[in-house]
Structure 1
């Protein structure tokens, strides 16, 4: 079976595994105070062109979202997200479990705009309701779309005007930044958002996310929040080593570029076969629509996620490519689609 189910089915890039093995018996301090985490944070600050940001390494995306949002908000404050947002749909109520409500806006393309946020602000007017304080966005979004520089700047300016924190989920930030049509750079993000993270789990690392705190208000006591919620790893070096390898040269962006190129090859092949799509995604997630019987036939040879019904006879599926996706796997899928849809 070939899997297009997600971008974390494989382990880690060999360069990372080699670095973990080479450093295995080196004795280091714990809890992220080791030389590897310090070196990785320094490299990231150089890539960001910003020495003032705080950088913390955490194990996974849900953990990062949970700890960050819980730390940023006071008890009566709430987060705003798209109705497709990961914290609303796929994190088992993790944010709500900390006592913070997630307020959602219906969006067409996975992206929030100032108008979406303003509508929610206008509906929450006094102390009898939760107070919206944080805007959560994902880049790339859960439906594969990306924010342009203009879109992010407009949202950033609006949030600052309204005294809202802007927090970017970067689980697939590598794919977003390497996407066709992207005009954002990594170094521009600290000026546009209050906090964001650089996803390693879905871009070649064994595990790990690098959380970047840009706003001074959010930095104080953050390690206390990490420790209290079980995220201050005794062997934090494991995370630092991986980000050191990902950003020592250009590996992080090379891996994201490969994942995207495999998605484009897959998308173009399906378009040539007459397949339509649920969204126009420039990232490593694509959402083709097939007749229900075609989906059932594909399940015999491929793993993928059912995204949802389009109508009674058609279903959208999600295909995700990764740093390790082989071109032969893409070619095989396209060939099978042509065989199924265009029988001789």
Structure 2
């Protein structure tokens, strides 16, 4: 069987989560997220959102659902979403946002990030009302699809533009754990809550069986948000399953960030090994995604032992590949991959 560097959710769940699910399994609970585990998990998350946080926290099962529910619930029918061309909602969610009637306005990203210059240009180009969809929300990801992490200054600049133009700022946090654990990170969850109107904390890619935590920071958006989750099929009868997992991830030792550090460390080791073998990286990894430029012949050889994504061709002889590490990545497999680069 080939070892997978294809994504960060090939494994099941962190053992601590499985243990917690087993230990709580026979305890009867109120359904639909009103169980004691979910209530406690939300309180644990709230502790990291700052003393002034007056929003709400909601659990849903998947990232696409988190994006779909959040964006469609806070926008007016005629409002559009500004996102970089590499945004997850553009190419990996089957047009889920557009299916709700909201146009995606795509702009070039810089290392996967939305820049103030490109954002302002998009706003200016989409202001011929009522003949154009009106920008209503800015979508970004942290970590981005290109593996980069936003800094406090970068997020602050986008937040200021959003407020200036009456737009909502939304952050997809599928890999939020890896962002928080990154050496490039200089933000806390409280900082993100202050600067974003809505964001979510990913569990699926950070050790959970499934589940994401949507944080509605803007108090004006709280009313009816839970009803929108129900309408979109996102309210689980056994909401306890999500609560138990986030209760475990946000334990006193903050397991959520601790296991993300391992993912990032394995990516750094992988990147170092690739460079030592004489091959180039697109950039130094900020988190748990490594983008490397490898010869096509070598790629075919590596595919016999490993799974990974061939991102795009570089030229006739080389391609850019993406290697993703996780909380469960075995160091021995990282070493084996690097060894095969030189064999």
* TM-score, normalised via structure 2 length: 0.97
Matched, 1:282 2:286: yes
Deviation string, structure 1 residues 126-158 (Cα, Å, up to 9, x no partner): 110000010000000001001011111111111
Query: Which residue is 1:205 aligned to?
Result: 208
Query: Which residue is 2:163 aligned to?
Result: 160
Higher deviation after alignment, 277-286 or 125-134? 277-286
Q: Distance in 1 between matches of 2:205 and 2:178?
A: 9
Shift of 1:217: 2.0
Q: Distance in 2 between matches of 1:181 and 1:114?
A: 20
Give 1:51-200 correspondences, 5 Å limit: 51-125=53-127, 126-200=129-203
Query: Which residue is 1:224 aligned to?
Result: 227
Q: Distance in 1 between matches of 2:205 and 2:313?
A: 26
**Would you say the 8 A contact 1:45–1:53 is kept in 2?**
no
Shift of 1:270: 0.6
Q: How many residues align?
A: 339
**Would you say the 8 A contact 1:80–1:134 is kept in 2?**
yes
Shift of 1:281: 2.4
**Would you say the 8 A contact 1:143–1:281 is kept in 2?**
no
Shift of 1:49: 2.2
Which of 327, 330, 334 is residue 331 of structure 2 equivalent to? 327
Q: Distance in 2 between matches of 1:33 and 1:127?
A: 43
Q: Distance in 1 between matches of 2:338 and 2:282?
A: 18
**Would you say the 8 A contact 2:268–2:285 is kept in 1?**
no
**Would you say the 8 A contact 1:61–1:199 is kept in 2?**
yes
**Would you say the 8 A contact 2:271–2:284 is kept in 1?**
no
Matched, 1:255 2:256: no
Matched, 1:29 2:33: no
Give 1:308-327 correspondences, 5 Å limit: 308-327=312-331
CA-based RMSD of the aligned residues comes to 0.9
**Would you say the 8 A contact 2:292–2:320 is kept in 1?**
yes
**Would you say the 8 A contact 1:143–1:279 is kept in 2?**
no
**Would you say the 8 A contact 1:287–1:319 is kept in 2?**
yes
Shift of 1:171: 0.3
Query: Which residue is 1:342 aligned to?
Result: none
Shift of 1:278: 2.3
Structure 1 gap segments, 5+ residues each: 340-344
